[in-house]
């Protein structure tokens, strides 16, 4: 275990040190203290290391992550795990707006609530939220899974492509071209795997699935006069 104090050693030192770790590194465990809401904590990592951030973070914590497993023992500011490729980011508190935005892979787990635009333009990431999510979540989401154990705000899945959205609670409203879809055995099985990965105890049968009606992103010849 290596401890880095952001107040003492600085954010630049923290990120440089963590980014220098290679796939075969022996220093697997890192403990970050005094994050104090700093921006861009543990960004751009590319090694199978475990990073624990002891406190709340500002913008873009865990952004562009590959391989690393990052746990925030507090709440995360806007854009946590933005554009992540692989690995895992766990937020024990709440996450601010656009959590997991544009994520291409990996898993983002939020044990509290997520604010607006959660999973906006996600491209393969799996996001599991124990609480509620805010408005315009999964806007233009292309691929991956968004699982919500609580409620979803307004305009869920607006202009959705092929991401799958699973919500256990209520949905305030669905966005354009987002519709409820059947939960088949395949979906139940997939959802069970996602919940297990996030260490969340919930019955997959209680969720509803939402997806794209595919009316918006396919050209319809009847609309040709509009162009």
Partner 1 sequence: MCGIVGLFLKDDALKPQLGEMLSAMLITMTDRGPDSAGIAIYGDETAGQIKITVQSSTPESDFPTLEKHIRDQTHLAKDKLNITMRDTHAVIVAAETDKDHILTLITDNHPNIRVMSQGQSIEIYKEVGLPKNVVERFALTQATGSHGIGHTRMATESAVTTLGAHPFSTGSDQCLVHNGSLSNHNMMRRKLRAEGVNIQTENDSEVAAAYLSARMSEGETLGEALTSGLNNLDGFFTFVVGTKTGFGVLRDPIACKPAVMAETDAYVAFGSEYRALVNLPDIDQARVWEPEPAEVYFWSH
By CB under 8 A, name the one of 78, 119, 144, 157 that touches partner 1. 78
96 binds partner 1 (CB under 8 A): yes
Nearest residue (CB) to partner 1, 111 versus 135: 135
Residue 16: Cβ within 10 Å count: 10
Cβ 54 to partner 1 shortest distance, Å: 11
Residues 24-53 that bind partner 1 (CB under 8 A): 36-38
Look up residue 214 and give its DSSP letter: S
27 sits in the region (left: phi over 0; alpha: psi -120 to 50; else beta) called beta
Binding mask 98-137 for partner 1 (x = CB under 8 A): -----------------xx-----------------xx--
What is the rounded end-to-end Cα distance, in angstroms, of the chain?
Answer: 60
> Which of the stretches 56-64, 84-92, 204-212, 218-226 binds partner 1 when contact is defined by CB under 8 A?
56-64
Cβ 43 to partner 1 shortest distance, Å: 16
Nearest residue (CB) to partner 1, 43 versus 49: 43
Alpha helix (H) residue ranges in the chain: 6-9, 11-19, 185-197
Query: The dihedral of CA 145, 200, 41, 74: what is its sign?
Result: positive
Please give the residue ranges that form the binding site for partner 1 (CB under 8 A): 36-38, 56-59, 75, 77-78, 94, 96-97, 115-116, 134-135
């Amino acid at each position: 275990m290596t401890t880095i104090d952001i107040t003492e050693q600085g954010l630049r030192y923290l990120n440089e040190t963590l980014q220098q770790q290679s796939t075969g590194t022996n220093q697997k465990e890192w403990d970050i203290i005094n994050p104090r809401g700093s921006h861009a904590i543990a960004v751009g990592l590319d090694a199978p290391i475990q990073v624990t951030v002891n406190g709340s973070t500002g913008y873009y914590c865990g952004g562009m992550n590959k391989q690393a497993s990052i746990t925030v023992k507090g709440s995360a500011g806007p854009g946590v795990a933005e554009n992540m490729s692989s690995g895992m980011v766990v937020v024990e508190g709440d996450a601010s707006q656009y959590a997991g935005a544009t994520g291409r892979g990996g898993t983002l787990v939020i044990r509290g609530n997520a604010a607006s635009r959660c999973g906006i333009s996600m491209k393969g990431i799996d996001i599991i939220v124990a609480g509620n999510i805010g408005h315009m979540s999964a806007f233009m989401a292309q691929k991956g899974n968004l699982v919500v154990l609580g409620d979803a705000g307004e305009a869920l899945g607006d202009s959705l492509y092929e991401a799958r959205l699973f919500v256990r609670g209520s949905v305030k409203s669905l966005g354009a071209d987002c519709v409820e879809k059947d939960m088949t055995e395949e979906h139940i099985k997939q959802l069970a795997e996602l919940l297990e990965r996030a260490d969340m105890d919930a019955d997959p049968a209680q969720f509803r699935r939402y997806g794209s009606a595919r009316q918006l992103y396919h050209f319809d010849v009847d609309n040709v006069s509009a162009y």
